[in-house]
Amino acid sequence: MTIISSHAVDVGIGDLWVRLHTTSAEFAATMAARFAGFMGQVETPDYEFTITLVPPAPEERQEDDVQVWREGSLWRMTRNDFTASWDPVARRGQAEMLLSPYSLDSLLRIVHTVMLAQEGSMLMHASSAIRNGRAYVFTGVSGAGKTTISRLAPTDVHLLTDEMSFIRRTSSGYHAYGTPFAGELARPGENIHAPLAGIFLLAQGPENRIDTLTPQEAVRGLMGNILFFAKDPQLSAAVFDAAIALANAVPVQRLTFLPDQRVWDLIGNTQ
């Protein structure tokens, strides 16, 4: 009889727990290293994934596009480095992927986008931080200054991420959570959360200034930065509604800033 040992790793991001199963001790160690600070043990995870490792294809596919689609009751996801399916009712999925933390990162982000949309929550291309017990999200296109504003944060600011913010709608309002998803800063955020007090669309300019936005501008700004992949009408409408609800509940403003620390004088600097 062949006994194949199984490893299970619980990863919790944004209070959403996934149990990852693998038969590879090496991959379990890779996951543990990748998600250090976001590991734990829960009795019942929110969902489970069984990961099967596959060797790199002899001729790697050139396209790097993520494809996500609904097939019956399953979601299917594919990229050049993984294929996966996920059953949202059973809350179980399986994936074949390369032994790479980046592949797993991407898979988790995709599954989270699907799960979060159903509850009006989201992942957003944004840095975020907590100051004086309140969270602030800084979003914008690549180069707008997400990492820059994180680097400029004073010592009383707790960074949640400089790359991918996790925003959950709860019975007590919106909260921003720390994530292990790092950008140029190359370090994970703190695994803490706080009520979301403001969202800033970043622009670099000649002065530090905050401008109000119309509701339409706010929704456009959010929609341009919320992470979602599926071209599924129901899911897209849910994401659209989530952006509208968020813009109604939390101030969304444009933050123009000079790349120096004085910009933080404008942000959450009151008890």
Partner 1 sequence: MTSPMYILRSPNIAARRIGGELMLMASSNASLYSLNDTAALLWDAADGNTPLDVIVGTLCAQFDVSQDVAYTDACEVVEQLAANGILQLSHAPFQTEGSTS
70 lies in the binding site for partner 1 (CB under 8 A)? no
Query: CA-CA distance, 135 to 84, in Å (whole number)?
Result: 33
Stretch that binds partner 1, among 159-167, 172-180, 194-202, 210-218 (CB under 8 A): 210-218
270 lies in the binding site for partner 1 (CB under 8 A)? no
228 lies in the binding site for partner 1 (CB under 8 A)? yes
Stretch that binds partner 1, among 79-87, 113-121, 189-197, 216-224 (CB under 8 A): 216-224
Closest distance of CB 109 from partner 1, Å: 16
Query: CA-CA distance, 267 to 269, in Å (whole number)?
Result: 5
Q: Are 227 and 109 in contact (CB under 8 A)?
A: yes
* CA nearest to 257, candidates 216, 211, 214, 224: 211
Stretch that binds partner 1, among 1-9, 114-122, 125-133, 223-231 (CB under 8 A): 223-231
Report helix, strand or coil for 103: helix
220 lies in the binding site for partner 1 (CB under 8 A)? yes
214 lies in the binding site for partner 1 (CB under 8 A)? yes
Q: Are 181 and 105 in contact (CB under 8 A)?
A: yes
Query: CA-CA distance, 37 to 55, in Å (whole number)?
Result: 29
Closest distance of CB 161 from partner 1, Å: 22
133 lies in the binding site for partner 1 (CB under 8 A)? no
Q: Are 20 and 9 in contact (CB under 8 A)?
A: yes
Closest distance of CB 242 from partner 1, Å: 11
Q: Which of 210, 232, 251, 266 binds partner 1 (CB under 8 A)?
A: 232
Which residues within the stretch 241-260 sit at the binding site for partner 1 (CB under 8 A)? 241, 244, 247
What H or E segment, with its residue span, contains residue 110? Answer: helix 101-117
Q: Which of 33, 36, 192, 237 binds partner 1 (CB under 8 A)?
A: 237
Listing DSSP states for 31-87 in one string gives HHHHTTTSEE--SS-SEEEEEEE-PPPSS--S----EEEEETTEEEEEETTEEEEEE
6 lies in the binding site for partner 1 (CB under 8 A)? no
216 lies in the binding site for partner 1 (CB under 8 A)? yes
118 lies in the binding site for partner 1 (CB under 8 A)? no
Query: CA-CA distance, 255 to 270, in Å (whole number)?
Result: 18
| Contacts to partner 1 by CB under 8 A | 214-216, 219-220, 223, 228, 231-233, 235-237, 240-241, 244, 247
